[in-house]
Structure 1
Amino acid sequence: MKKRIGALLLSIALVFSLAACGQEEKPAGSSASATASESKSGGKGYVIGFSNSYNGNSYRQAMEGYAKKAAEELKASGEVKELIFAESNQNNSTQVQQIQNFVMQGVDAIVIDPGSATALNGAIQEASDAGIPCIIINDGPVDSKADRCYQINFDTVAQMGALTDYVCKAIGGKGSIIELRGTAGSQFDAIAHKGVQEVLKKYPDVKVAAEVYTDWTGSKAQSELASVLPTLKQKIDGVVTQGGDSYAAVQAFQSAGLDLPIIGGDNRGYFLKWWAKDAPKGYNTISVSSNPWDGATGVYAAVDILDGKDVPKEMIHPYGVVTADDVQKYANVKDEDIACPTYDRDWVRENIIKKK
């Protein structure tokens, strides 16, 4: 599965016109969404569980917010009765129990942001055996072979490859970089790291001076870098980050009195505002991020699956890119906002669910 996802690459990784998260961008030509009369819920509405392995950063909170937004839309049409959240705080055993609880409650479908590629397989199989589809989003893929397991993943290798390639070229193809990673043991982190490593093979004179786990949070990134930077003897020329910690890297270098390297951005408001307003004159970089709209996409896909529509087992969700040409558009975004494309239900159906 991982090889297949990696092979899809740039056919999905388009650079979209971005909007700050919270401001929906509806592509032209959308038709009306399905109504309750078309839903197999019989007008009662489906109950959907949402199992989130972590919600302690702005990305995950935005993802949950978008899932709620989609659920409210589908409540209004009578297709969804309730969306129930459970967060496991990075504890795989807890997430397994929460999925099992959803099965016992008799929910109709479960959207899952997994904390592990393998630890949830038994719980996913239990749900599938009970006729409950599981829709994996954001931190997949998982290795489950369950019949009713559906996966909506990012092409994370391409995403991180694009960011890493830009940084390597910007520093002239040689020098030292720091790789800011996510949560140790998570599937997304492992695949993102693979994307970095694959690009670095093209740049043998670019060396990784340190790998730092940040849990995709600025506070941990800043504290970890405050400890790591004084121990490094070489000048740091670039920083590659998975998300949630780019501005923290800026602050860490400034606090240490060091020259700013080329720091790959993460589409967070903190970083984009700094880049647009306060970065040194001529400071160029690129900002790349996964898209928390996949929370809404997971809810839309769950209802289509329950309605018996043709939904593929593997889907790819587009990510977002901000370049120097775009950054001034985000000079006044809120600190916690994430610049990302947002879509309506029909766009999701045509470009993610139906695209094969």
Structure 2
Amino acid sequence: MNYTNVLKTFASVGILSIAGGTAFAEGISDLPAGERAHYEMVDPQIPLGSSPLADFAAKNPPPWKIGYASSYAGNTWRASSLKEIMDNLLPAAKEAGLVSEVVVTQSDLKDAVQIQQMRQMVDDGVDAIIICCSNVTALNPTIEYAHSKGVPVFSFSGYVTSPYAINVAANHMQGGYDMGKWLAEEMGGKGNVVLVSGIPGFASSDSFDLGAKKALEEYPEISIIGEIAGKWTDQVAQTELQKFLATNPRQVDGILTQSAQENGVLNAMLQSGRDMVPITLGGEASAACYWRKNPDWISQSFHIWPPAREMGQAWDVMLRTLGGEGPKIQTMLRPVLPYTIEDVNAALPEDCDLNSTDWIQPTADQWWPDDIAKQYFNNPK
């Protein structure tokens, strides 16, 4: 895929504007320069136009009933994001008189089940639906159905291609690129890499891999010698990597993995008997604990998928939209935030748990500060 040609094609049909050599969608061009910078490298499938909800008015006054149609519950990331909505965001919104309840469903990665659950939510009278990390196209007819009934849909930590949804997430392609480039430099610009994807076909997983491979292509002496799917689950990633290492005797010099599976990757390497190599980390406290105990192991890590922060961003965008603030664009991306061993030392005690299910995360003000959030809406309050 020639990324530059994709952008030029979009520009030729009026979807993008190009200024100073950088292409921006119509809605993004309305953002301040500092925010536009987060869109300079994006997955070409992400909808980047003006939001169809710019003039949206909620069908009911608050308090609103919210649906959370989750696609999966089987990893620490999903548990942390659900905990954030139920233990922090919902109580605060209830106290403010904005939300009455949150209805939660789980589809176990079955698109047909998630579609049925979302339609049932609409028919049962929810005022908005939050979804996560879904197939980029499978839910589009259901999102359009919800839109026709006055129910906006907000996709977080990933994206859907429906023009009727709002996407909020980190820029996962940029994250993959930054992690890939860091790993390449950590390896001295040469050697063999194993790429541990999340769930192929899902938005954030594919976007990350696109960026990671783009970065590694810049290093001709680096080869990807294996690609496996960790399913965003530590146990799965550990099993799959153990299989790979047992059947592939070639030297491994670095591992590029998504979260929440970095602890499984780390454990697979520790149990393999091979020398430890640089592994990309994205926030799992368990893997960060190993780093704390071995501070010379790697030089840096990256916040790309902070579960509570991504859920908090989706929640804030949803409440602002229901409140008539008018989102400017379809996709609101956040930058990748590096963190260091000093941050880990501050977050974890010396006797930290190598099997922790917690996460190291940036603060809400670091991820989606109010002064930044307002810039994404036409009528901020």
> Closer, same or farther in 2 for the Cα pair 1:347/1:243, shift >3 Å?
closer
1:317 maps to which of 305, 328, 334: 334
Percent of aligned pairs with the same amino acid: 23
The TM-score, its normalising length taken from structure 1, stands at: 0.84
Partner of 2:297: 283
Structure 2 residue corresponding to 1:338, chosen from 359, 365, 370: 359
Is the CA contact (8 Å cut-off) linking 1:48 and 1:84 kept in structure 2? yes
Q: Which amino acid is the alignment partner of residue 85 of structure 1?
A: V
Q: Which residue of 2 aligns with 1:214?
A: 230
Matched with 1:124 is 143
Cα deviation for residue 41 of structure 1 reads 5.5
Render the CA deviation track for 1:285-329: whole Å, top value 9, x for unaligned: 422231212212222222221111122332113444322343322
Q: Which AA in structure 2 matches 1:182?
A: G
Cα shift readout 1:3-61 (whole Å, capped 9, x = no counterpart): 68997899449xxxxxxxxxxxxxxxxxxxxxxxxx9954x510010111112111111
Compute the displacement of 1:226 (Å): 1.4
The structural deviation recorded for 1:154 is 1.6
Asked if 1:88 is matched to 2:88, the reply is: no
1:329 is aligned, of 343, 346, 349, to 346
> Unpaired segments of 5 or more residues in structure 2?
1-5, 8-15, 17-21, 29-34, 40-57
**How far off is 1:157 after superposition?**
1.2
Q: 1:247 aligns with which of 258, 263, 268?
A: 263
2:12 alignment counterpart: none
Match of 1:71 among 90, 103, 111: 90
Matched letter for residue 164 of structure 1: G
Once the two structures are superposed, what CA deviation does each residue of 1:190-232 show, in whole Å capped at 9, x if it has no partner?
1111011110111111101111101111111111111110222
1:318-348 alpha-carbon deviations (Å, 9 max, x no partner): 4443223433223326611211113269964
Query: 1:122-162: per-residue Cα shift (whole Å, max 9, x none)?
Result: 0000000111111111121x11122xx21112211111111
| Among candidates 155, 162, 169, match of residue 144 of structure 1 | 162
Distance of aligned partners of 1:245 and 1:167 in 2 relative to their CA distance in 1, 3 Å threshold = same
Asked if residue 98 in structure 1 is aligned to residue 98 in structure 2, the reply is no
Three-state SS of the structure 1 residue aligned to 2:260 is coil
Name the aligned partner's letter for residue 306 of structure 2: N
Per-residue CA deviations over 1:45-97 (Å, capped at 9, x if unaligned) read 10010111112111111111222221210100111111111111111111111
3-state SS of 1:81 partner: strand
Aligned residues of 2:334 and 2:367 also touching (Cα < 8 A): no
Residue in structure 2 matched with residue 200 of structure 1 by the alignment = 216
How many positions carry a matched residue from both structures?
324
The residue that corresponds to 2:74 in the other structure is 56
Q: Secondary structure at the match of 1:132?
A: coil
Q: 1:163 aligns with which of 179, 187, 208?
A: 179
Query: Which stretch of the first structure deviates more once superposed, 325-334 or 340-349?
Result: 340-349
Q: Distance in 2 between matches of 1:352 and 1:212?
A: 36
Q: TM-score, normalised by structure 2?
A: 0.79
Q: Is residue 317–residue 352 contact of structure 1 (8 Å, CA) maintained in 2?
A: no
Partners of 1:189 and 1:318 lie apart in 2 by: 17
Aligned match of 1:259? 275
Q: Which residue of 2 aligns with 1:272?
A: 288
**2:207 counterpart letter in structure 1:** I
Q: Which amino acid aligns with 2:249?
A: K
SS at the partner of 1:173?
Answer: coil
CA gap of 1:352–1:245, structure 2 versus 1, over 3 A, is same
The residue that corresponds to 1:296 in the other structure is 312
2:42 matched to which residue of 1? none
Which one of the candidate residues 45, 58, 64 is aligned to 1:46? 64
Deviations 1:84-118 (CA, angstroms, capped at 9, x unpaired):
11111111111111110111001101111142000
- By relative contact order (CA 8 Å, sep 6+), the higher-ranking structure is 1
In structure 2, the CA distance between the partners of 1:296 and 1:144, relative to structure 1 (3 Å rule), is: same
Distance 1:327 1:299, change over 3 A: closer
Per the alignment, in what secondary structure is the counterpart of residue 251 of structure 2? coil
The answer to whether the Cα contact below 8 Å between 2:146 and 2:153 also exists between their aligned partners in 1 is: yes
1:225 alignment counterpart: 241
Distance 1:123 1:208, change over 3 A: same
3-state DSSP class of the match of 1:150? strand
* 8 Å contact from structure 1 (residues 40, 307) kept in 2: no
What is the rounded CA distance, in whole Å, between the counterparts of 1:267 and 1:190 in structure 2? 19
CA RMSD of aligned residues (A): 2.6
* Structure 1 residue 267, shift from structure 2 partner: 1.2
Is the Cα–Cα contact under 8 Å of residues 312 and 364 in structure 2 kept in the other structure? no
Q: Which range moves more in the overlay, 250-259 or 89-98?
A: 250-259
On the 8 A contact 1:113/1:136 being kept in 2, the answer is yes
Deviates more, 1:346-355 or 1:237-246: 346-355
